[in-house]
Structure 1
Amino acid sequence: MLPEESRTWNEIFAQPRIWVEWGPVLASQAREISAWIIERQITEIVFAGAGTSAFIGDALSFASHTGPLIKGIPTTDIVACPFECLRDDPQLLVVQFGRSGDSSESVGTLDLLDRQFPKVQRLNVTCNPNGALATRLPAGTGEQKVIALPEATHDSGFAMTSSFTTMLLSALACIDTKADVATNLGRLADKASALLPALQAMTPQRPDRVVFLGSGALKGVARESALKVLELTAGQTMTSWDSTLGFRHGPKAVITGHDLIVVMIHPDAHTALYDWDVAREIKAQYQDAKVLTLGGEGCDVDLRIIGDARWEAPLYVLAAQIWAVAWSNDLSLNIDNPFAGQGNLSRVVSGVTLYPVRA
């Protein structure tokens, strides 16, 4: 199978069309959600999900605004350690992300909100209008809102692609109240339309190891990028991720030879100074390694369009999406299900034992 014959490839290339069509609809829904957040006097927002869905919270928790405190807490942590993660507070909003909306931890978090935290407000952002996140009603006094994304975002391939980027943009639209949402999605779509074929054309030879580095909101994007490569190459390409400055403090030991290091240059000029320092340092210290920079002027890939790391996050992740598919194909894997026949990973995590909470 050629990469372009896979569902995953087509779902990646569908993102610009999805964003531009979703923009006006999202703008209207985001205004309503933003007003509701103010009305409910929300003081803290927890962005929650598992795996890729959790990394949305990693990126958005760096929001630069004066509104509610924002945290990213994975549902895997909430289910395992509920009272360390949440409190029964009507001024707390839990935003759950889920492609299917039916994963074990999504359902487990809904159970906890019903029984242990019934006053908490909820916003579910999901790609599946028939999943639990979209259809299940709350049992407590906390209100619930749902953003059901376009059907095209419900990726049929193993890897989350359009689901990740569009859920991120949808949540961001609700908290960035000064943004022109429809215009931003249109600009991102135009930029992505040009970026995708360019990234395809410059696909590096598959390395044994890939490292993704990013600062602030881009650290979450680095984490998602590393997971995309690890998943789509079925673990045959080892990956690592970190913040650019954090990488020096031990994790740099991962570089051993002809590795690929992708440094995401932050749009903030001050932050970018540190990103560039680390990129230059790695080039100087590891002659066999290949260093690629993603960002603005002077980068190997110029993706700058808005100047806000949160809004540009979907553009940064495109490189990992495209290259991971190509490398999966090089390994003769089933791109849409790299673990076919193994039975150890599945598209939707289910069958997790959910233990009753005793409190």
Structure 2
Amino acid sequence: MRPDESQTWNEIFAQPAVWAAWAPRLAEIASEVGAWIEHKQIKEIIFAGAGTSAFIGDVLCFAARGSIRMQAIPTTDIVASPFECLRDEPDLLVVQFGRSGDSSESVGTIDLLDRQFPSVQRLNITCNAQGALATRQPKGSGEQKVIVLPEATHDSGFAMTSSFTTMLLSALACIDPQPDTQQRLGTLAATASGLLPLLQSTAPRRPERAVFLGSGPLKGIARESALKVLELTAGQTTTSWDSTLGFRHGPKAVITGRDLVVIMVHPDDHTARYDLDVAREIRAQYPDATVVTVGGDECDVRLRSLSDPRWEAPLYILAAQLWAVIWSGELGLNIDNPFAGKGNLSRVVSGVTLYPVLV
């Protein structure tokens, strides 16, 4: 399959238009949800999802909203160890992300909130108006808000692309109130429109191993980047991810030869010095490896537009999304379903046995 014949390719290139079209409505929704969070006197926000949806929280937990504590806890952890993850208090808000809103762990977390944590407030952000996250009503005293994204974000391909970036931007607009939300999405859309053709024309050769590094909220993007490549190449490209400085402390052993190392350079000048130091170090120590820096004017790939790593996060992920599709095509895979005929991975995880909580 040629990359540009896949739905995944079309969904990646559609993202700028999706963001720009969604911006006016999102600005209204964000204002309403922000006021609701204040009214509920929320003291803690937990961002929950599974797989790619969980990595949204890895970016968002660096957002600042007064004294509210924020953390990312995957629904896979919540379902397995609910009482270590949640507390039944009305000042807790659980934000669930789900492309389909129907995965086993999404449903399992809804059930737990209904039965064991009924006082918790809920915000569900999903791409599927018919999924459980969009349609299930809470059974306790906690209130629920639902944000259903435009249908175009409900990716038909195996890999989450537009769903990831648009859910991330939607949540960020709600928890990091900005008077210029609509303008911000317009700026990101314009930058992405120019960035995508550049990434296409400069795509590196498919490596045997690909490593993605980032600091602060960009560590979550590094994690998602590694997953995109691993998924779309059906495991034929080994991937790794870490924080930029953390990579030195053992994980650097993954580099063995002509590997690709992508370093996402933080917009903060202080943090960027560390990112660039590591890039120089890897180039010197591993001359056979290809090191690509992504970020500001000093980088190989320039995307700087808002100088805020959380808001620019959707731009950083574009490289892994697009290159992974190109590499998938080179491998002769079905890009929209790289595991076709294998039956070991599916677009929506289902069939997980959910055990009743014993109390």
User: What residue in structure 2 maps to residue 87 of structure 1?
Assistant: 87
1:319 aligns with: 319
Question: Which residue pairs with 1:203 in the alignment?
Answer: 203
Q: Is the 8 A contact 1:45 1:92 kept in 2?
A: yes
Residue 249 of structure 1 corresponds to 249
Q: Which amino acid aligns with 2:11?
A: E
- Give the match for residue 105 of structure 2: 105
Deviations 1:225-276 (A, max 9, x none): 0000000000000000000000000000000000000000001111111101
When normalised by structure 2's length, the TM-score is 0.99
Q: In the aligned structure 1, how far is the partner of 2:24 from the partner of 2:160?
A: 23
- TM-superposed CA distance for 1:65, in Å, is 4.0
Quick one: which amino acid aligns to residue 161 of structure 2? T
1:54 paired residue number = 54
SS at match of 1:47: strand
User: What letter is aligned with 1:70?
Assistant: M
Question: Cα distance, 1:297 vs. partner?
Answer: 1.1
Residue of structure 2 in register with 1:183 after alignment: 183
The CA deviation at 1:67 is: 3.9
Unaligned runs of at least 5 residues, structure 2: none
5+ long unaligned stretches in structure 1: none
The alignment status of 1:216 with 2:225, answered yes or no, reads no
Displacement of 1:60: 0.7
Q: Is the 8 A contact 1:102 1:131 kept in 2?
A: yes
Shift of 1:298: 1.1
For 1:283, the aligned partner's letter is: R
Amino acid at match of 2:3: P
Alignment of 1:336-351 (within 5 A): 336-351=336-351
DSSP 3-state at the match of 1:322: helix
TM-score, normalised by the number of residues in structure 1: 0.99
For residues 269 and 27 of structure 2, the distance between their equivalents in structure 1, rounded to whole angstroms, comes to 29
1:64 to partner: Cα distance:
3.4
Residue 145 of structure 2 aligns with an amino acid whose one-letter code is K
Q: Which residue of 1 aligns with 2:26?
A: 26
Q: Render the CA deviation track for 1:1-23: whole Å, top value 9, x for unaligned.
A: 21111000000000000000000
Structure 1 residues 127-176: Cα deviation after superposition (integer angstroms, max 9, x where no partner): 00000000000000000000000000000000000000000000000011
Q: Work out whether residues 306 and 312 of structure 1, in 8 Å CA contact, stay in contact via their aligned partners in 2.
A: yes
In 2: Cα distance, 1:171 partner to 1:282 partner: 35
- SS of 1:93 mapped into structure 2: strand
Q: Deviations for 1:64-99, whole angstroms, at most 9, x for unmatched residues?
A: 342411100000000000000000010000000000
Alignment of 1:113-192 (within 5 A): 113-192=113-192
Which residue number in structure 1 is paired with residue 296 of structure 2?
A: 296
How much is the aligned-residue C-alpha RMSD, in angstroms? Answer: 0.6
Q: Which amino acid aligns with 1:141?
A: S
Secondary structure of the structure 2 residue equivalent to 1:146: strand
User: 2:283 maps to what in 1?
Assistant: 283
Percent identity of paired positions between Structure 1 and Structure 2: 75
SS of residue in 2 equivalent to 1:122: strand
CA 1:65 to 1:137, structure 2 compared with 1: closer, same or farther past 3 Å? closer
Question: How many correspondences in the alignment?
Answer: 359
2:335 counterpart SS class? coil
Runs of 4+ in 1 over 6 A off after TM superposition: none
CA contact (8 A) 1:43 1:69 kept: yes
